[in-house]
Amino acid sequence: MNAIYDTLNDKQREAVFTTEGPVLVLAGAGSGKTRALTHRIAYLIEEKHVMPWNIMAITFTNKAAAEMRERVDDLVGADGNSVWVATFHSSCVRILRRHADLLGYSNNFTIYDTDDQKTLMRQILKKMDLDPKLYKDRAILSRISAAKNELISSAEFQTRSAGNFREGRIADIYTEYEAQLKNNNAMDFDDLLVRTVELFENYPDVLEEYQRRFRYILVDEYQDTNTAQFKIVWLLAKQHRNLCVVGDDDQSIYKFRGADITNILNFEKSFPGASVTKLEQNYRSTKNILAVANGVIRHNHGRKDKVLWTDNEEGDKVNYIQYDTAYDEAYGIVKDIEEHRNTFDYKDCAVLYRTNAQSRVLEEKFVANNIPYRLVGGVNFYQRKEIKDLICYLKTVANGRDDLAVQRIINVPRRGIGATSISKVMTYADQYGMSFYDALTDWEHIPSLGRAGAKIAEFVHQIQVLRSQAQFLTVKDLLEHILDDTGYRAELNAEKTIESQTRLENLQELINKAADLHDEPEDAEALDRFLEEVALVAEVDSLDEDENRVVLMTLHSAKGLEFPRVYLSGMEDGLFPSMMSIKSEDDTDLEEERRLCYVGITRARQKLTLTSARTRMINGETHAEMPSRFIKEIPPLLLDVPGRAVRKPAGSAMGAASSSMRPGAPTASGMGTSSFGGTGSSEPAHLGSYRPRPNVLNQKSSAAYMGKEFKVEKAGSLNYGKGDRVRHMKFGEGTVLEIENGKRDYEITVSFDQAGVKKLFASFAKLEKL
Ligand SMILES: Nc1ncnc2c1ncn2[C@@H]1O[C@H](COP(=O)(O)OP(=O)(O)OP(=O)(O)O)[C@@H](O)[C@H]1O
Ligand SMILES: [Mg+2]
């Protein structure tokens, strides 16, 4: 047998070699579950001679799918290619692209993202004349999503809501929303799962085809499957029952998206006779990191107790650093990364946080210090206005049935087709049950359009021309045509602002992406493929490991990944755990946050740093923040808290403080943690040395103490002005366009000869006057 299986422990081998019948691997973080899955695929192909196309492996993110495909390719070579490795959602897209016509869609249906959903919902609420204060688009969409994930149809929702006025209204909205999606030949993300279940349940022959094909099914991160996903697995596996699922009940963090932890806890009931394997050795983290993880998660009640140990070295203690402000915190992290550059590459480091909003301050510090980083999630590239506009043009050219897409671009760039004309067309479309685009082509029959009629005719003509061009153009060339022929590019060029420049760069990036398709000019399906890929770019997909950049992402996106050096930022009560979970009457909400904390801690391989701020701006207001209760749950001996040792009598205080820090660890004075000593606090920081310091923002500016480290030019000592030629270490020579006196520092806008226009903080840019 191939030696690759020697690198597995006995328990992992058991999970790999038990190929027939249902198998559950329930084990803690970093115990090699994912590794066992990839080796199982190799084993099936190499030792059991299973055909690769008879194997289906489901992962949680596209990123994880790509990683698994890579690992499988490494293990079994080219054969691995025909193994079906995908997320639930992309698997469903692939299946529905073949069969959606059976359900009354055309197979080139559109996939709506969150923004599309919101636009549609707002239209529906308006049309139904519902008070937007009482019926909020987001809240309603999340109710509908929850129902869909539990496979509750709008009809069933109607029945269940009988007698309750508000629920009845929501049921009506749900019904209308479904009707509109179908009219637009569109599915939202939840539909992808729901329609696949519908397909399998109503077309047994289709189900049978896939059951025959997927003789061996493997599912990673099974603890986060929801009802619809469970149903898909169950339907596909119920004949052959060769199903292997792996997961960790302590890492179930998607309850808010309908994940149902009972799917993994009841696996043996759903698939009687299942063999259950537990992995207990962690291969990922140091002893110290693992002890911290265990220290936190053991506070959850009613969990399946698991033993998790490691042979790895003890490692450094876990750091906990409390900063004055979120800016200080971000700067402290940036500086710590920079200080450890000789032992850790940028790409070894990840900064994790609870909410996307926290990324802004972090990003600011990364930019100011010229540290390459990659933001995963947040304002996704595809959420940008200009990108969405172009995607909507493509959708209109590909499939005029997507009303929202057509409405988005009909007056972009401005064509003199105003809101009134658009609403006349919408009314006409409604009246005759036609799509918005079809109504546009019928403009001559729409009453009182006036001069807008001719404009609409022009627009329709332009789309028709693009459609005929699309037949013999690559997607890249089609994009270029759209940009030029519609005047979109010219308008941005004429604007000559930084924003328009950025937009043009983003559009270039989209064109680059299209060029990556390498499609032939006459490839009729290339456009659909492109749109599909774009719709499925999950948040975590932008993570490209070859690039040497620090990764910034939410804790949720980090699931399943690992990094040598991890920072968990914003460890503050009310932020993490979230205020909602603290206030919730349901204890399990707080437990879900604790699992999220466990996920975060266990991403770290060698070094973990926990950070928090004493004050933080939330929704424009400065709030005093308490350290997270999760910090207090960690046995104090496991934590290294700079400044904690100032408990010692005066005189020995500083010596004691520094002795608790390892070489290279941030020093109190340089990191804005000086308040530990400065306020004479005698309590261990993690046990609540917290003291509100409302005026801390004014007391000292970050730049002041940053100066010690970076020897910044003091604000005010700029020796260059607007119009001067300057040189930057990285970007080369350029001309100063603008100097703004920002709150913390001067912000300098420079047009670099090579690198283009950049906005920089004066202290860090260190521009040299030429
Ligand atoms: N038997 C083994 N020998 C050596 N290294 C191993 C072994 N099993 C797993 N590893 C390594 O340990 C790390 C964690 O493995 P893996 O990602 O498969 O764990 P996991 O259980 O899936 O974790 P998570 O719960 O976070 O998804 C990886 O770097 C993997 O290569
Ligand atoms: Mg894993």
Summarised one tens digit per residue, pLDDT across range 358-414 is 887 898 888 888 898 888 865 566 777 898 899 999 999 998 888 999 999 999 999
Q: How far is the CA of 560 from the centre of ligand 1 (A)?
A: 10
Task: Kindly state the average pLDDT of the residues 587-593.
Answer: 92
The catalytic position among 176, 178, 191, 221 is 221
Looking from the CA of residue 560, the nearest atom of ligand 1 is 27
Please identify which residue in the block is written with the tokens 């979120």.
326
Structure tokens at 330: 């971000």
CB 704: neighbour CB atoms within 10 A? Answer: 13
Residue 284 in contact with ligand 1 by CB distance below 6 A: yes
Q: How far is the CA of 215 from the centre of ligand 2 (A)?
A: 23
Residue 308 in contact with ligand 1 by CB distance below 6 A: no
Q: How confident is the model at residue 687 (pLDDT cuts 50, 70, 90)?
A: very low
Looking from the CA of residue 36, the nearest atom of ligand 1 is 18
**Structure-model confidence comparison of residues 299 and 510, the more confident one:** 299
Residue 35 in contact with ligand 1 by CB distance below 6 A: yes
Distance in angstroms (rounded) separating the CA atoms of residues 357 and 112: 24
pLDDT at 379: 59
Residue 4 in contact with ligand 1 by CB distance below 6 A: no
- DSSP helix/strand/coil, 551: strand
Q: What percent of the chain has pLDDT over 70?
A: 86
Q: How far is the CA of 562 from the centre of ligand 2 (A)?
A: 9
pLDDT digits (tens, 9 = 90+) for 696-725: 233 333 333 232 222 233 334 678 888 999
Q: Determine how β-strand 349-353 pairs with β-strand 318-325.
A: unpaired
Q: What percent of the chain has pLDDT over 90?
A: 59
Please check the confidence at residue 686 and state whether its pLDDT lies above 80.
no
Please check the confidence at residue 486 and state whether its pLDDT lies above 70.
yes
Whether 251 is catalytic: yes
Q: How confident is the model at residue 652 (pLDDT cuts 50, 70, 90)?
A: very low
pLDDT at 16: 95
Q: How far is the CA of 196 from the centre of ligand 2 (A)?
A: 26
The catalytic position among 284, 317, 365, 603 is 603
* Least distant ligand from the CA of 251: 1
- Do 416 and 452 touch, CB atoms closer than 8 A? yes
The catalytic position among 251, 358, 407, 602 is 251
pLDDT digits (tens, 9 = 90+) for 508-545: 878 887 887 778 877 778 898 888 877 776 444 455 55
Residue 603 in contact with ligand 1 by CB distance below 6 A: no
733 burial via Cβ count (<10 Å: 0-12, 13-18, 19+): middle
pLDDT digits (tens, 9 = 90+) for 216-268: 999 999 999 999 999 999 999 999 999 999 999 999 998 888 888 889 989 99
**Structure-model confidence comparison of residues 66 and 470, the more confident one:** 470
pLDDT at 743: 55
pLDDT at 488: 96
Q: How far is CA 31 from CA 286, 360, 603, in A?
A: 13, 34, 12
End-to-end CA distance of the chain: 68
pLDDT at 638: 93
Whether 221 is catalytic: yes
Buried b (16+ CB within 10 A) or exposed e, 154-182: beebbeebeeeeeeebbbbbbbbbbebbe
* Least distant ligand from the CA of 36: 1
Looking from the CA of residue 279, the nearest atom of ligand 1 is 21
Q: Atom 29 in ligand 1: which residue has the minimum CA distance? A: 284
Q: Atom 15 in ligand 1: which residue has the minimum CA distance? A: 32
Kindly report the pTM of this predicted structure: 0.74
- Do 767 and 726 touch, CB atoms closer than 8 A? yes
The whole-angstrom distance between residue 546's C-alpha and the CA centroid of its chain comes to 19
Please identify which residue in the block is written with the tokens 């006036």.
450
Please check the confidence at residue 37 and state whether its pLDDT lies above 50.
yes
Query: In this structure, what are the phi and psi dihedrals at residue 201, rounded to the nearest 5 degrees?
Result: -75, -30
Q: How confident is the model at residue 669 (pLDDT cuts 50, 70, 90)?
A: very low
The catalytic position among 11, 33, 408, 513 is 33
Q: Which of 767, 715, 763 is CA-nearest to residue 368?
A: 763
Residue 13 in contact with ligand 1 by CB distance below 6 A: no
Question: Any known ligand binding at 32?
Answer: yes
| Angle, CA of 324, 327 and 333, to the nearest 5° | 95
Q: How far is the CA of 583 from the centre of ligand 2 (A)?
A: 32
> Among 6, 10, 34, which is best to mutate for testing ligand 1, by the most ligand atoms less than 8 A from CB?
34
Task: Kindly state the average pLDDT of the residues 493-512.
Answer: 80
Distance in angstroms (rounded) separating the CA atoms of residues 699 and 764: 21
Q: Determine how β-strand 373-375 pairs with β-strand 550-554.
A: parallel
pLDDT at 498: 61
Question: Any known ligand binding at 418?
Answer: no
Q: How far is the CA of 662 from the centre of ligand 1 (A)?
A: 29
**Structure-model confidence comparison of residues 585 and 607, the more confident one:** 607
Q: How far is CA 87 from CA 58, 113, 411, 541, 703, in A?
A: 5, 17, 37, 12, 45
Is-cis flag, bond preceding 577, omega within 30?
A: yes
Side-chain-facing half-sphere of 355: CA atoms under 13 Å: 15
pLDDT at 713: 34
pLDDT at 378: 58
Residue 30 in contact with ligand 1 by CB distance below 6 A: yes
Whether 33 is catalytic: yes
Q: How far is the CA of 544 from the centre of ligand 2 (A)?
A: 18
Residue 33 in contact with ligand 1 by CB distance below 6 A: yes
Residue 9 in contact with ligand 1 by CB distance below 6 A: yes
* Least distant ligand from the CA of 248: 1
Distance in angstroms (rounded) separating the CA atoms of residues 146 and 647: 51
Q: Atom 31 in ligand 1: which residue has the minimum CA distance? A: 35
Please check the confidence at residue 673 and state whether its pLDDT lies above 80.
no
Give DSSP secondary structure letters for 200-250.
HHH-HHHHHHHHHH-SEEEESSGGG-BHHHHHHHHHHHTTT--EEEEE-GG
CB 134: neighbour CB atoms within 10 A? Answer: 10
Q: Which of 355, 360, 296 is CA-nearest to residue 329?
A: 360
Question: Any known ligand binding at 29?
Answer: yes
Q: What is the overall mean pLDDT for the chain?
A: 84
Query: In this structure, what are the phi and psi dihedrals at residue 546, rounded to the nearest 5 degrees?
Result: -70, -20
Question: Any known ligand binding at 538?
Answer: no
Q: Give the containing element (helix H, strand E) for 453.
A: helix 452-470
Question: Any known ligand binding at 33?
Answer: yes
Residues making up the chain, counted from first to last: 770
Structure tokens at 177: 């929303």
Q: How far is CA 171 from CA 168, 174, 197, in A?
A: 5, 5, 21
* Least distant ligand from the CA of 11: 1
pLDDT digits (tens, 9 = 90+) for 737-749: 888 876 556 778 8
Question: Any known ligand binding at 34?
Answer: yes
pLDDT digits (tens, 9 = 90+) for 92-107: 999 999 999 999 999 9
Task: Kindly state the average pLDDT of the residues 295-307.
Answer: 86
Residue 29 in contact with ligand 1 by CB distance below 6 A: yes
Task: Kindly state the average pLDDT of the residues 602-624.
Answer: 89
- Do 174 and 161 touch, CB atoms closer than 8 A? no
Provide long-range contacts, Cβ within 8 A and 24+ apart, for 73-80.
Answer: 75/4, 75/38, 75/39, 75/41, 75/42, 76/41, 76/42, 76/45, 76/46, 76/52, 79/45, 79/52, 80/41, 80/45, 80/52
Distance in angstroms (rounded) separating the CA atoms of residues 407 and 419: 10
Largest CA distance in the chain: 91
Whether 136 is catalytic: no
Please identify which residue in the block is written with the tokens 């999950």.
538
